[in-house]
Structure formats: C-alpha cells, structure tokens
Structure 1
Amino acid sequence: MRIPGPEPRSDGGVGAVAAAGGLHRYQLRLHAEYGPVVRFQLPGAETAVSIADPVLLEATAHIDKRPERLFAFLDPLCEAGNLQVMPADEHVPWRRVLLSVLAGRPSHERHFARFTELAVALADRWAARADHEPVALQKDLTALSLRMICAYALGGDAADPDGVIAAFEEVLTEHLGRLYQVPVPGTPEERAERSSEALAYLRATVDRVVAAHRPGSRADRSDLIGALVEAGERPARIRDTVMVTMLAAHHTTGVAVSWTLHLLGRHPEVAERVADELDRVLGDRPAPEYAELRQLAYLDMVLKESMRLYPPGPYGARETTEALTVGGYELPVGTTIFYPFWAVHMNPDHWPEPEKFLPERFLPDEVAKRPKLAYIPFGIGPRSCEGATLAMVEAELVLAVLLKRFRFRAVPGHRVTPIERFVMWAAEDIRMFVSSRGRG
C-alpha cells in the first residue's frame, strides 16, 4: 500500500517547506491533509516518512540510528566524529555515561546554587527595566541557559567564562546563520575567520579543562568531564561531547522558558495560580531549594503544556535498519522516519482542542489516559535527549525565580510568530513588559 503524500517536486521539496514557513509548520499541514502517516520530500533525505500518531510511533521507538545527511550540519563542531550519528555499538555505552551524570540528582544538586545565582542575576537586571522598557525573552534567556550549561559542563575550571560564552555565540551566529540563511554582519570571509578563531578558542579551553582531569582524581558522578574521563573516552570525544551538550542546552532551556512566559502573559489567571503556588512553597524567599521543585506541581504542568504547544526541538529523525510495517505501510531498510513533535502534540485524537493552553492536561489522571508517546518534547527511544531531566530542573528553577518576582504582559502590537531556527524560535523574539508583583 502506497503511503499518501504530495507529488514529488523538482526542487526536492525545498519550495514546499519554505512556503509553509518551515519544516515544523509543513509537517502540521501534511498531517492535516494526508493523515497520520505521510510520505514527503526533504532536502538531505530525498524521501521521508513522517508519523504523527503516538501509537504507530511505538513500532519505531527501538531504532538507534539517525540519518547521517540530516545531521551533517553538526560536522564542523565535531573533530572526533559527529556524536549525533555515531553507530549504535558506540552510542550505547556513551549514552549510559551521559545519563549517569545528566539525569542524576547528585549532578543537579552540585550545580543548583550556581544556577540559582545566575537566574537571580538576570532577574536583578530585568528589575531595573520594570514597567518602562520591555525585555527580549529569547535573547536574554538563551544567554542565561548558555551561562548555566557553561557552569555545568566546565565547572569552575574555565578561566574566562565570559570569553567562552562570547566565543560560543560567535560560532552559533555564523553556523546557524548559514544553515537558515539568516543575514549576519560582515563578508563571508570575515565571518568564517571569526567563527574559526572562536571555535579554536572553545576547543582549547575545553581541552585545558579535560587535561586537568586525571583518571581516579574526580570520580563522582556529578562531574560530566570527570565521568567521561573515568569511562576512558579519548580527549577529542570528551571535548566534542561538551560542545554538543552546550549547543543543545543553550537553545532548548531558554526557548522553553520564553514560550512559557509568553503563554502566561496571555493567561493571567494561570500565572496567578503559579504565583500562589510559589508563595505557598517559598514564602518570602526569592528562589526554591532543589528539593522544593517537586512541590511545584502546577508549575511543572504549566511548563509541560507550554512544551506541548511549542516544543523547543520541533522534530526528530531516525533511519530504519530493518524493514518495518507501520499502520499497514511497508517501510524498507534505509527509510528516513520523521518524528514531527509539534504535529504529535497537536493530534486532536489525544489532545482535545489542541490549540488551547490547558495545564490541567498534565494531571496524573489525564496523563494516564493518553498513549505514552503522545507527549515527546525530548524525543523517543535510545536517541532521546540525555539532558531532558537537567533541562527540566533548569527551566523550573528559572521560571520559579522570575514568576516569584514578576508579572509579565505582552508589548502592544508586538507579533509573536514561531519559526524554525534549529529550535522553535520566535521571528522577532518575544518582547514583554515585566512588573514587580511583590509578596503574594
């Protein structure tokens, strides 16, 4: 049985994706027109199959292979081989080490005080602009999340953390500017030189931190580099792991918090309920302790509902290593499978009135009614995001600090339009006014 989808185009699908406003919007359109399983053209994959039904996705959840061509844009950041497409036999032990650190409570507790300092410092800067000058949420919050992940990945071992952050932003500006054809100041030669110098600086900085770790000298499982050294990973692989971790965390956490504040600005009744919960749990304190995050149940539901409506990473991809049958359709070996997170999250069969912002969807009884893969903001299976638990800790901490202190309201006339920029970005940022809310 032939998989439904649009007729092939001579441009390989580029025009259709552009006309839709990006791949994530194109996927929404495809599934609305053709159903839960769609065949479509995609640059870098020729033909792909997108699956938006969470029950059908179960048949693909075991796949541990990513299509190399779709992730080739990360090659320049990796000297020891692209970590996103490493073979399964290498990936399994590497992933096990990452999860032992990134998903572990000792790691979170070790860095929580520093995360809190950084979040409070941003709140202090915003307080100086309260009521009279809007803040650019995504710009400021992605910078905050980059500072957090630098502190996490490099500890206190980076001699110049501000220099690391500036260099990383330089690399990202050039790299993602080319990927998404976004105008960047300077000639191509000047941009390439700046990016090359910044990347060399980053690599040298991380190499120094890695060299300071000796096997057996720092074996606790709260230290990312230490754990990789103990596992016997070679220095280049460790450096690349740190770089890719910084790339992923820099975008996703800040973007998720930004969209959450945007939604709360449009739903003040939900924002007030979050504020009441924060007052009840924190009292007069400006920030939670690590253990108190578990008491912020409504804040957790709000964040999850925000990531349902605006998943930071709008899609994932796998490549079949064996023939599969999905929904009655035959998928041969080598098929590129797309996981359209946004389309899955907007599937009305599992999310009634999916466009509405309803945090109560994540009450335990409601969660139990849905298929496991109806909500997949961090992907699925053995290639899902290793840093998912850490990202939730960071996001909930930042939201708690900001919502304990401020109310947020939209700038009149400012239009917020989701676009694809490696993550679910806003075309003109998300600009909001902040005002002090005081105590309760």
Structure 2
Amino acid sequence: MRIPGPGPRDDGGAGAIAEAGGLHLYQRWLHEEFGPVVRFQLPGAGTAVSVADPVLLEDIAHVDERPAELFAFLSPLCEAGNLQVIPGAEHEPWRRLLLEVLAGRPSHQRHFDRFTALAEELADRWARQGRDGTVALQKDLTSLSLRMICAYALGGDFGHEGGSDGSDGSDGNSGSNGVVDADAVVSAFEIVLTEYVGHADSAPPRAAEALAYLRATVDRVVSAHRASGRTDRSDLIGALVEAGESPARIRDTVMVTMLAAHHTTGVAVSWALHLLGQHPDVAARVTDELDRVLGERTAPDYADLRRLPYLDRVLKETMRIYPPGPYGARETTEAMTLGAYEIPAGTALFLPFWAVHMNPEHWPEPERFDPERFAPDAAAKRPRLAHIPFGFGPRSCEGAQLATVEALLVLAVLLKRLRFSPVPGHAVTPVERFVLWAADDILMEVAERDADGRGVGGGSVSPA
C-alpha cells in the first residue's frame, strides 16, 4: 500500500515548510491532513516517512541509526566523529556510559546544591527586577540552564558568576586556583551556538575563537582530573577519563552535552511559567503543594522532588504541549513493515514529537492545559509512546532524568518565592530555533509572594 502524503515539489519541499511557518507546524498539518503515517519531502533527506501513531512507533523503537545528512550541521563541533550519528555498534557502549552518569542519582545529588544556588541567584535577581519592570523568561532561564549544565559537565572547577581573577577568560586561562570563569564559558558558548553551529563555513573569527576557548577549557579540566587521579563516576569528565575515552572524544562529549542540555531545561521552565500564568487555578495548586512540602524553606532538598507529584504533572503536561525538541529522525538499515506499509532500507524516519503529543485519539482536546492527564490512572490508559518529550529508543536523550531534576528544582525555587502573570498585549508565538522557542521571548510580570501566597511589591499582579 502506498503511503499517503502531499505531491512532490521542485524545491524539494522547502517551500511547503516555509508556507506552513516552519517544520514544527508543517509536521502537525501533515498528520492532520493525511493520517498517522505520511510520506513527504524533507530537505536534506529526500523523501521521509513521518510516524505520529504511538503504537506504530513501538515498531521502530529499536532503530539505532540516524540520517547523517540531517545532523551534519553538528559535525564542526566534533573532532572525533559526529556523536549524533556514530554507528549503532559504537553508540551503544558510549550511551551506556553516559546513562550511568547522567541518569544516576549520585550524580544528581552531587550537583544539587550547586544547582540550587544558581536557581536562588536568579530568584533573587527577578525579585529585585520585578519591582521595576518585567522579566524575559527564555533569555534568563536558558542562561541559567547553561550555567547549570556547565557546572555539571565541568565539575567542581566551574565557578560562580565571573572568574576569580576578574578576567573575561578570552585568553583561554582560568582564574586563580584553577576555577573556570563561568561568565566567559557562558558567553563563549552562546557565540558558538548562534554564530558557529550550522554556519561554520561563514562564521566570523570570534566564533572560531570562542570554540577554541571552550575546547581549551575542557582540556584543562580533563588534565586536572588525570593529574588528581579522581575516579568519581558521578562526574561526567571523571567517568569518561576512567573509561579510557580519548581526549578528543571526552572534549566532544562535553561540548555536545552542553549543546543538547542547555536549552532543554530553560525552555521547559519558560513554557511552564507561561502556562501557569494563564491558569491561576493550576498555579495555586502548585504553590499549595510547595508550601505543604517545604514549609518555610525556600528551596527543596533532592528528596523533596519525589514529594511534589503535582509539580511533576505540570512539567509533563508542559512538555506535551510545548516539547523542547519538536521532532527527531532515524534511518532504517533494513526493510521493515510498519502497519499496512512496507518501508525500504535506507529510509529516513521522521519522528514528529509535537504531532504525537497533539494526537486527539490519545489526548482529547489536545490544546487544553490539564496536568491531571498525568495522574497515574489517566497515564496508565495511554500507549507508552504517547508522551515522548525526550525521544525514545536507543537514541533518546541520555540527559532526560537530569533535565527533569533541574526543571523541577528551578520551578520549585521560583514558584515558592515569586508569582508570575502575563504582560498584557505580549503575544507568545512558538517558533523553531533548534528547540521550540517563543519568537519574542515570554515576558512576565513578577512579584514576591507574601506569607498568604499573594503577590507583594511591584505593580499589579494577577492571581496567577
């Protein structure tokens, strides 16, 4: 049976994607128009097959290859081969090592206090800033998440704001006592992300300099690990050193981890605060839970996160409506049957996470924000792959559990102390920018909560 889909276009499908407003919107239209399995033109991959049925996704969950051409834009970051498309046989042991660290409780606990301090620094700044104006959620929260993942990836050598010697780090040297200059790392990484990734051939000189600085910084931390003899496998670099990975592979792994992780937490928390600002009843339930669990404390302990089930549902529902990465891709290595269709070897399989999350068969009124969809009884009635914000199978995100811990922590710290309400007249429009991003950021009015949970300080504040 022939797979349904739109007719071919001379431009390889680029025009159809542009007319829809981006690939993130085009893939939703495709499945609304043609059903759960669609054939379409995907620039860079020729013809692809997109699958939005969570039951059929089970049949391709084992596929461990990715279309190299779709991930070629990341190749300039990697000196030991593009880690996103390394062959399955090489990928499997490397993935096991990353999961041992990134998904491990000892690793999360080791860094939890540092993450908490960073989140509280932002809460302090927003409390002051909210008295005089608005805050831009994405800008500040992605900066926070980058600081968190840098602290995680670079271990205890990652300093607080600013280098200890006051330098900007541009000479590739850390401050005194070997502390990495946090501001310099964050600044360099933003330059690499915006000016180098996807533009290596035309990037300005400062982009290459920023990449060289980041690599030199990672190399210094790796050297310090080797010299100290540390073998703590709850530390990313330490685990890679102990596993005998080459210096280039360690450096690439740290860089790609920073790239993959730094947007995820910040974007997820931004969308969560946006949705809570629109739903004051849900926001009230979250703050009631936080007050009950934390009491007078302004931040949770690691163990407290398990005692915040409603906050966890809010985060899951947020990532259903606004998945940080709206899609993924795999490539078949042999012919396979998918429902009523035959899929040839070498086919690019498109994984439209956003379309899966908006499938009305499994998510009635899919646009509606309802955290109770993730109550245990409701969740048990859905297919396993109906909710896949971090992907699925052997190429799913190794840092999913770490990102969840970070997001829950940041939300708990912010919502325990602050109240958020939308800025009147500010439109929030999802666009595709490596992740599902708001085109003009998400502006919010912020006020501190008083003992009764009401907003205090600053201008007018809604019940959200």
Q: Is the TM-score greater than 0.5?
A: yes
User: Is 1:160 aligned with 2:181?
Assistant: yes
Q: In the alignment, which residue of structure 2 is the partner of 1:172? A: 193
**Displacement of 1:436 after TM fit?**
1.1
Distance in 2 (alpha carbons) for counterparts of 1:94 and 1:65: 14
Deviates more, 1:232-241 or 1:204-213: 204-213
User: Does the Cα contact within 8 Å between 2:73 and 2:198 map onto a contact in 1?
Assistant: no
- Hey, what does 1:383 align to over in structure 2? 395
Unaligned runs of at least 5 residues, structure 2: 159-179, 454-464
Give the match for residue 184 of structure 1.
none
Q: State the alpha-carbon separation in 2 of the partners of residues 218 and 100 from structure 1.
A: 17
Checking the alignment, whether the CA contact within 8 Å between 1:130 and 1:433 is kept in structure 2 is yes
**1-structure distance, mates of 2:246, 2:397:** 22
Q: Among the aligned pairs, what percent are the same residue? A: 75
Measure, in 1, the Cα distance between the counterparts of 2:20 and 2:227. 51
- Structure 2 length normalisation: TM-score? 0.91
Contact 1:132 1:433 in 2 (8 A): no
Aligned counterpart, 2:16: 16
Structure-2 residue corresponding to 1:296: 308
1:168-218 Cα offsets, whole Å, 9 max, x none, are: 011111135849xxxxxxxx96x5201000000000110111122229922
Instruction: Name 2:83's counterpart in structure 1.
Output: 83
User: Residue deviations 1:299-334, cap 9 Å, x none?
Assistant: 000000000000000001000011111121110000
Residues 74, 198 of structure 2: 8 Å contact kept: no
Aligned to 1:324: 336
Contact 1:176 1:421 in 2 (8 A): no
Contact 2:137 2:441 in 1 (8 A): yes
Tell me if structure 1 keeps the 8 A contact 2:335–2:345.
yes
| Other structure's SS at 2:41 match | strand
Asked if the contact 1:215/1:229 (under 8 Å) is kept, the reply is: no
SS at match of 1:28: helix
Between the aligned partners of 2:346 and 2:198, the Cα distance in structure 1 is 30
- More displaced 10-residue stretch of structure 1: 417-426 or 13-22: 13-22
Q: Could you tell me which residue of structure 1 aligns to residue 169 of structure 2?
A: none
Structure 1 Cα separation of the partners of residues 262 and 376 of structure 2:
30
For 1:351, the equivalent position in structure 2 comes to: 363
| Paired residues of 1:286 and 1:401 also in contact (CA < 8 A) | yes
Give the aligned residue type for 1:335: T
Aligned equivalents of 2:186, 2:12: Cα separation in 1: 37
Scaled by the length of structure 1, the TM-score of the pair is 0.96
How far did 1:131 drift?
A: 4.3
2:102–2:398 CA contact under 8 A, matched in 1 = yes
Q: Does 1:65 align with 2:65?
A: yes
Counterpart contact for 1:118–1:148, Cα < 8 Å: yes
> Counterpart of 2:225 in 1: which secondary structure?
coil
1:314 matched to 2:326? The reply is yes
Distance, in Å, in 2 between the alignment partners of 1:104 and 1:215 is 25
Q: Deviations over 1:354-399 (max 9, x none)?
A: 1100000000111110000000000010000000000000000000
Q: Hey, what's the Cα distance between the residues in 1 that align with 2:353 and 2:450? A: 38
Shift of 1:135: 0.5
Q: 1:236 aligns with which of 232, 248, 269?
A: 248
Any idea what the Cα deviations from partners look like across 1:225-265, whole Å, max 9, x if unmatched? 11011111101000000000001111111000000000000
- Distance change in 2, residues 1:169/1:70 (3 Å): same
Structure 1 unmatched ranges of 5 or more: 180-187
CA contact (8 A) 2:76 2:197 kept: no
SS at match of 2:226: coil
Inter-partner Cα distance in structure 1 for 2:351 and 2:116? 34
Q: 1:407 and 1:199 mapped to 2: Cα distance? A: 38
State the AA in 1 paired with 2:12: G
What is the alpha-carbon distance in structure 2 between the residues aligned to residue 13 and residue 174 of structure 1?
A: 26
> When the two structures are aligned, how many residues end up with a matched partner?
431
Show the counterpart of 2:386.
374
CA RMSD of aligned residues (A): 1.3
Paired with 1:133 and 1:84, the residues of 2 have a C-alpha distance of 41
Residue in 1 that maps onto 2:40: 40
Query: Do the aligned partners of residues 177 and 91 (structure 1) sit closer, same or farther apart at CA in structure 2, a change above 3 Å counting?
Result: closer
Amino acid at match of 1:214: R
Contact 1:37 1:327 in 2 (8 A): no
Q: What pairs with 1:15-164 in structure 2 (closer than 5 Å)?
A: 15-158=15-158, 159-164=180-185
> Any residues of structure 2 matched to 1:215-226 within 5 Å, and which?
217-226=229-238
Where do 4+ consecutive residues of structure 1 move more than 4 Å? 176-179
* Pairwise CA distance, 1:132: 3.3
CA distance in 2, matches of 1:273, 1:43: 45
Q: State how far apart, in whole Å, the 1-side matches of 2:183 and 2:131 are.
A: 29
- Residue 194 in structure 1 maps to residue 206 in structure 2: yes
Tell me which residue corresponds to 1:437: 449
* Counterpart check, 1:268 vs 2:280: yes
Q: Report the Cα distance in structure 2 between the residues aligned to 1:397 and 1:232, rounded to whole angstroms.
A: 33
In 2 relative to 1, CA 68–177 (structure 1 residues): closer, same or farther, beyond 3 Å?
A: closer
Name the CA distance, whole Å, in 2 between partners of 1:338 and 1:205.
36
How far did 1:221 drift? 2.0
Q: SS in structure 2 opposite 1:385?
A: coil
Q: Give the corresponding residue for 1:410.
A: 422
